[in-house]
Structure 1
Amino acid sequence: MNEVLSQDEIDQLLTAISSGEIETESVTQVQDQRKIKIYDFKRPDKFSKEQIRTVSIMHETFARLTTTALSAQLRSMVHVHVASVDQLTYEEFIRSIPNPTTLGIINMDPLKGSAVLEIDPAITFSVIDRLMGGQGEGSKVNRDLTDIEQTVMEGIIVRILGNLREAWSQVIDLRPRLGQIETNPQFAQIVPPTEMVVLVTLETKVGEVEGMMNFCIPYLTIEPIISKLSAQYMYSSVRSGATTENLNILKDRLSTVAIPVVAEIGEMNLTVRDVLSLRAGDVIRLPDVRVGDPMTIKIGNRKKFECRPGLVGNKVAVQIVHRLEELGKEEFEELVAEEGE
């Protein structure tokens, strides 16, 4: 920020320069340094600050989902959160991770190319120990995974990828698939060493064991959707109206909601003493109900249809003969909420 000097300050500055206390070359040099911005043409920035921020927001959702999923599966306290999101070359990423480690090659369908999910050995062996019945202690010896341990980690990574799909759902319908697991970073050359990537670093804690998970996405893979990596796009997609796809999803989910359906012959009030004294063969006379009257079908606690009893094969059934009322939107929401409780 530029400051305006007073006359006294100007006089003091001129006096200092005249006496040799301040050299004019040093003043000029300081001013010139402020105008210089260092830029490395060998590793140009491919992602803007807004895009990096959007990627961070997406993977914060991924971290929350992964925390819940792993806590339930491992029956242990698990905490995952985004530590940083950076852009660097693929070679720098490979050099920054240990050898051996757990590297999952992820197919990012429908995007082209692959990504890499790297799990720190301490976290890997803690998860394996926990699933094998141990206390979740990490291995003190850094070694390759056995065939059984690799199979166990495949199941963990596949479960994690389900959370990744949900976290990316506002941007693209991602269908990530685990291709293979490598332990040597040199064998995971998915892009040229100088290719720029975005690296999402996730601090992970399983019980008392701490480590890192790194999700590396090449620029070539994410380039087709780079314009969608903005907060404005994500918020607009959230606010978009009820599209056909969203309606179909809602219908599919509502179709699995269980709601009790009861065929009611009639009702009457009885004291607790009368109910306790009921025995097999007793007859309860229902007021205002005749033999030929239709029964009432109640959905939840609302009367919806009239029906008549009968048989279908060897099973008791009812036949709907009349609709009593239309279930409004507000009533339906109240009904679903009551059943959810």
Structure 2
Amino acid sequence: MSADDDFMDFDVAAPSITLGDGDEFDQASIDAMFGGNAPVAKKSGLKAVIESRVISHERLPMLEVVCEHMVRSFATSMRNLTSDAIDVSLDEITSIRFGEFMGRLALPAMIGVFNVVEWDNYGVITVESSLIYAVVDALLGGRRGGGPTRIEGRAFTTIETTLVSKMLELALTDFAAAFEPIDQIAIALERVETNPRFAAIAGPTNIAAVATFRVDMEGRGGKFSILLPYATIEPVREKLLQRFMGQKVGRGNIWEEHMATELLKTEVSVDVVLGEKVMRLEDVRSFAVGQTIALNTAPDDALEIQSGGVQMGRGQIGQRRNNVAVRLLADMFKDLPQ
């Protein structure tokens, strides 16, 4: 370094630790040991798409309508069950991977596995511990206005499971009733589990729609969620994607009747092909008035019936009330191009 230099250059090496045996750890080794700045293996190909945290999903407007209908009916059902002032609200509707949802579930919790008979598939309904103890406290005559006492370090008893199962059955019944304008379904609660591993109805990477509800019971309560894998709602996915339905959800009977009426009024031209023959152009140019062309077709042979050049069936030509008529054969659709 000279006296005229304004700055000094230093070569600073990465800190290292030397052990008694002569082994030396640099900064990269220390970071790897404690998890700081650890290199992350990059995923590529199909694995990167499947395990991506970014979920591209379709919004299901009609599912939101179904959940809003369920909120009103379930609040009434809970009031009749507990005789308390119940307030039910829809927290959110989102999409998440099944494995991630189960991994986020705060334990202890109850997980109900239900079967949608018409769709031949399954879903789950989860209840967090605060709502479990609130429902049990309310059904067993606990004092109102205070939060229920939570007993840690033990599993749920048979009585608690039975009482909460009644609430789950009410929720699923109201959910099925709210689905009636879209599809007639029956939901059956098959079992209640406390371990997420025993409620695996889908693969960890499968995407599911989750509706989360909040139940308030005079200062106590909690949340419960209904999870439907996209494979489960596939039979009604097109209906759930609809945005504007008017008064009635589903098929429009007025349009069906209008289409049926208009179809009956539609006129269709039908041609009966008496026969076909391949001729030379010279013979065609020499056609004369009164000339007879043999088609090699007998009077009783089946003739092709066409509409717009498309073969529709077969029939026999004849006469009825001094008019030329065609009688359709019983096998008119046999051997037709599909």
Verify same fold: TM over 0.5.
yes
Which residue number in structure 1 is paired with residue 233 of structure 2? 222
User: For the Cα contact (< 8 Å) 2:98–2:206, is it kept in 1?
Assistant: yes
TM-score of the superposed pair, with normalisation by structure 2: 0.55
Cα shift at 1:86 = 0.6
The CA RMSD over aligned residues, in Å, is: 2.4
Matched, 1:140 2:150: yes
Cα distance in 2 for residues equivalent to 1:211 and 1:154: 16
Aligned match for 1:193, one of 181, 185, 204: 204
Cα shift at 1:138 = 2.4
Specify the SS of the correspondent of 1:95.
helix
List aligned pairs for 1:285-296, cutoff 5 A: none
User: For the Cα contact (< 8 Å) 2:209–2:228, is it kept in 1?
Assistant: yes
Cα shift at 1:218 = 0.5
Identity in percent: 21
Aligned match for 1:232, one of 240, 244, 251: 244
User: For the Cα contact (< 8 Å) 1:101–1:144, is it kept in 2?
Assistant: no
Q: Which has the higher helix share?
A: 1
Which residue number in structure 2 is paired with residue 74 of structure 1? 82
Cα distance in 2 for residues equivalent to 1:224 and 1:239: 15
Cα distance in 2 for residues equivalent to 1:102 and 1:186: 12
Q: How has the CA–CA distance of structure 1 residues 236 and 163 changed in structure 2, closer, same or farther, with 3 Å as cutoff?
A: closer
Cα shift at 1:151 = 1.4
Matched, 1:150 2:133: no
Structure 1 segments unaligned to the other structure (5+ residues): 1-38, 243-341
List aligned pairs for 1:1-341, cutoff 5 A: 42-43=51-52, 45=55, 47-49=57-59, 51=60, 53-135=61-143, 137-142=147-152, 143-229=154-240, 230-233=242-245, 235-237=247-249, 240-241=252-253
Q: Which amino acid aligns with 2:136?
A: I
Cα distance in 2 for residues equivalent to 1:45 and 1:224: 21
Q: How many residues end up aligned between the 2 structures?
A: 203
Q: Which amino acid aligns with 2:103?
A: R
Cα distance in 1 for residues equivalent to 2:112 and 2:85: 24
User: For the Cα contact (< 8 Å) 2:181–2:248, is it kept in 1?
Assistant: no
Cα deviation, 1:154-193, whole Å, max 9, x if unaligned, reads 2221122221111111111110010000112222111011
Structure 2 segments unaligned to the other structure (5+ residues): 1-47, 255-338
Cα shift at 1:237 = 3.2
Cα distance in 1 for residues equivalent to 2:229 and 2:113: 12
Cα distance in 1 for residues equivalent to 2:234 and 2:225: 20
